[in-house]
Amino acid sequence: MRYSVEVYNTCDLGDVLDTTIADLKLREAIKTAKANSDEDKHIYITWYRASDGQKGYYNPNGDHTINGQSW
């Protein structure tokens, strides 16, 4: 499985996607998410499994789910 880190900036209009860093290994994604964490940002690690087309989130508690939690 490969992972992406999505960085959303918080503003008056809500969360706006600012950056996507794609095609990372899990450890790289965690390191990137922690390095970009900030009060004004919501950061999610997403994953895609090609074998069955499933998409989801890798959450700070270590779960792979379809519901994401910000880092």
Mean pLDDT in runs of 10 for the chain (71 residues)? Answer: 92 81 96 89 93 95 94 91
How do the domains of the chain map onto residue ranges?
A: 2-65
pLDDT given for residue 37 in this prediction: 85
Beta-bridged to residue 2, according to DSSP, are: 48
pLDDT given for residue 17 in this prediction: 84
C-alpha closest to that of 5 among 38, 45, 41: 45
Beta-bridged to residue 4, according to DSSP, are: 46
pTM of the model: 0.87
C-beta of residue 18 within 8 angstroms of C-beta of residue 9: yes
pLDDT given for residue 14 in this prediction: 75
User: Is the CA virtual torsion 71, 35, 19, 23 positive or negative?
Assistant: negative
pLDDT given for residue 36 in this prediction: 87
Local structure of 29: helix, strand or coil: helix
pLDDT given for residue 11 in this prediction: 77
C-beta of residue 65 within 8 angstroms of C-beta of residue 56: yes
